[in-house]
Structure 1
Amino acid sequence: MSELVVSSTFLPAEPLRKRAPAFDEHGKALSDFMVLIPGLVHKPQHLIQATIEHIQTVFAGYNHVVVFAELNLKLSLLWVSVKPVPGVRFQITEALRAVIPEARLVSHI
């Protein structure tokens, strides 16, 4: 996986559907899900940075399945695209909740 993308709270960005990959390197469709981290945008910068580091640490353990991830600070929302592995989005969400207890799975596709 490439680095976690952290989107700015002020700069407009290209739509996520244009940035997030839809298929893996073998042409298989990816699965996407979102994790809400309530109140993240209102936390002090050092706590935001610690949260980003926690996310990166979790993703390091799932680098074989996480293909894309973007943290939208304005929305306190983490978008994750993964290879189609049964149950992996729930495993990743639980690993995130272990280090970021307020994290909540809000959607999966």
Structure 2
Amino acid sequence: MSNSLNHKQQHNLKQTLELKPNSPLWKRVPTKDEYGNYLGDFMIMIPRLKAASSDHQKQTLDKLNAVLHRYQEVVVFADLNLKMNLLWISVRPVKGVILDIVSAIIESVPEAKLISDRPPR
């Protein structure tokens, strides 16, 4: 697999980072990449972002955008639901990448929290 994204992939990433009203998430989230590989996904909560000033919201979005662009080789989809303060990210199946992205987001936006489920006992 090539280390660089083709023009279409770069364009698709840019489109998913725009702010615009969309259809329900379950209709838009990809489950497989262009090669048929299943994608991983995770959610991050950013408490009180909706209630924050527009300047703070923009600064937070700029920080998130910078992190996602650092990982543009593996980030396939990103959606920020400001109403729910939730960021959904879908990634290519690369070992350890979710932890790397989550760590980078929390470093840039300290109030961000990974939403996870308890592992089965």
Structure 2 gaps of 5+ residues are 1-9
- Find the aligned partners of 1:75 and 1:6 in 2 and give their Cα distance: 15
Q: Would you say 1:99 and 2:89 are equivalent positions?
A: no
- Aligned match of 2:4: none
Q: Do the aligned residues in 2 keep the contact of 1:70 with 1:79 (CA within 8 Å)?
A: yes
TM-score, normalised with respect to structure 1: 0.88
Q: Would you say 1:25 and 2:34 are equivalent positions?
A: yes
Cα shift readout 1:57-95 (whole Å, capped 9, x = no counterpart)? 001110000000000000000000000111111110110
Task: Give the superposition deviation at 1:107.
Answer: 2.9
- Find the aligned partners of 1:98 and 1:104 in 2 and give their Cα distance: 11
**How many residues get paired?**
104
Cα shift readout 1:13-41 (whole Å, capped 9, x = no counterpart)? 42211111111110000011000001100
TM-score, normalised with respect to structure 2: 0.80
Which structure has more relative contact order (CA 8 Å, sep 6+)? It is 1
Give, as a single letter, the amino acid of the residue that structure 1 aligns with 2:78: A
Structure 1: 4+ residue segments shifted above 4 A: none
Structure 1 gaps of 5+ residues are none
- Find the aligned partners of 1:103 and 1:41 in 2 and give their Cα distance: 13
Task: Give the superposition deviation at 1:6.
Answer: 3.5
Taking the TM superposition and a 5 Å limit, the aligned residue runs for 1:22-101 are: 22-101=31-110
User: Could you say which structure has the larger radius of gyration?
Assistant: 2
- Find the aligned partners of 1:66 and 1:99 in 2 and give their Cα distance: 17
CA-atom RMSD, angstroms? 1.5
- Find the aligned partners of 1:99 and 1:5 in 2 and give their Cα distance: 19
**Among the aligned pairs, what percent are the same residue?**
42
